[in-house]
Amino acid sequence: MRLGVLDVGSNTVHLLVVDAHRGAEPTPQLSHKSELRLAEHIDRDGDLSKAGADALVEAAISAKQEAEQLGCDELMGFATSAVRDAGNSARVLKRVAKEAEVPLSVLSGEDESRLTFLAVRRWLGWSAGNLICLDIGGGSLELAAGADEDPRLAHSLPLGAGRLTRDWFTDDPPSKSQVAALREYVTGMLAVPVKELLEPGPPDRVVATSKTFRTLARLAGAAPSSAGPRTRRVLSRTGLTQVTSFISRMASADLAELDGVSVGRAHQTLAGAVVAAAAMDALEVTELELCPWALREGVILRRLDWLDAG
């Protein structure tokens, strides 16, 4: 069957269309992103602004039209941190359902973490053993650990690169004191969750996924996306230190010109690097392996499981 997945994230609204059936690898037919940066459209009252809501409705209408043109049997829409945390989320969701005819499910942070973990497990297989999975989004950081398809423990923390950039950095590039203050905050936020993740003992593999980690790995010398999803990519702690030192002195406009850095996310890259470094230090690992599958693939895989069970 042909499935469409509309992922309304803190940075992008991403339509992924795949041909898929139970037991087979989903085959991408279309991947289209609209960079709305919804997390930056949250006003002082905690609501998603009218401009942000308008842009979301337009993106949803466009995504539905594309899905219909490609003959999707089903379009699954879901929203994560930016919409989840907005005070007016119910009104925004109602608008999208009415005007775009796309119902959006709001994933909890824990569900987001669990579905991402499922995707990583399916990609790596059982030989990966006991996994810890990390995902830095625009609004939140997801962490999960376990030896099965469903993680033993799943956390979602308000440590997304976009959120932290908005709340902690006032200069471009940010001052050393701003970076140091953010590093201290992130380290404190990670202490208890990481302790819980490591309680059964050290993991067999620590895996990272999604755009922030891919960008940092590319800046540290990992293969470009053109090398394909099966090319092994890693991010070392040493490489991350070098990247952080380099980008901390760059304005976002200059950073956006580097290979692997998108214009819309350039200003968030340093905050993402701070979170990645703090997580690696807390977990006491010197290297992260990157996985090309993440939340969208997890949503697809879970849907296929349900269809098969039905």
Beta strands 234-236 and 205-209 are: unpaired
Q: Which amino acid is at 200?
A: P
Residues in the chain: 310
CB 3 within 8 A of CB 76: yes
More confident residue, 233 or 306: 233
Name 106's Cβ contacts closer than 8 Å, sequence gap at least 6: 78, 79, 80, 83, 84, 89, 93
Task: Report the greatest alpha carbon distance in the chain.
Answer: 55
Write out pLDDT tens, residues 114-131: 999 999 999 999 999 999
Write out pLDDT tens, residues 8-23: 999 999 999 999 888 8
Name 25's Cβ contacts closer than 8 Å, sequence gap at least 6: none
Q: Of 273, 156, 263, which Cα lies nearest the Cα of 220?
A: 273
Task: Write down the residue that tokens 């790596």 correspond to.
Answer: 124
CB 276 within 8 A of CB 208: yes
Q: Of 31, 156, 6, which Cα lies nearest the Cα of 85?
A: 156
* 144 three-class SS: strand
Is 79's pLDDT higher than 60? yes
Write out pLDDT tens, residues 194-208: 999 999 999 999 999
Is 106's pLDDT higher than 70? yes
Is 218's pLDDT higher than 80? yes
What's the pLDDT score for residue 308? 65
Is 40's pLDDT higher than 90? no
Q: Of 73, 124, 68, which Cα lies nearest the Cα of 101?
A: 68
Write out pLDDT tens, residues 258-285: 999 999 899 999 999 999 999 999 999 9
Note whether 2-106 and 110-295 share their fold.
yes
**For the chain, domain boundaries:** 2-106, 110-295
Cα separation, 97 vs 77, in Å, equals 10
Is 244's pLDDT higher than 60? yes
Helix axes 237-247, 269-283, angle to 10 degrees: 150
CATH class of 2-106: alpha beta
- 110-295 CATH: 3.30.420.150
Cα separation, 286 vs 289, in Å, equals 10
CA angle, corner 223, sides to 218 and 268, nearest 5?
A: 15
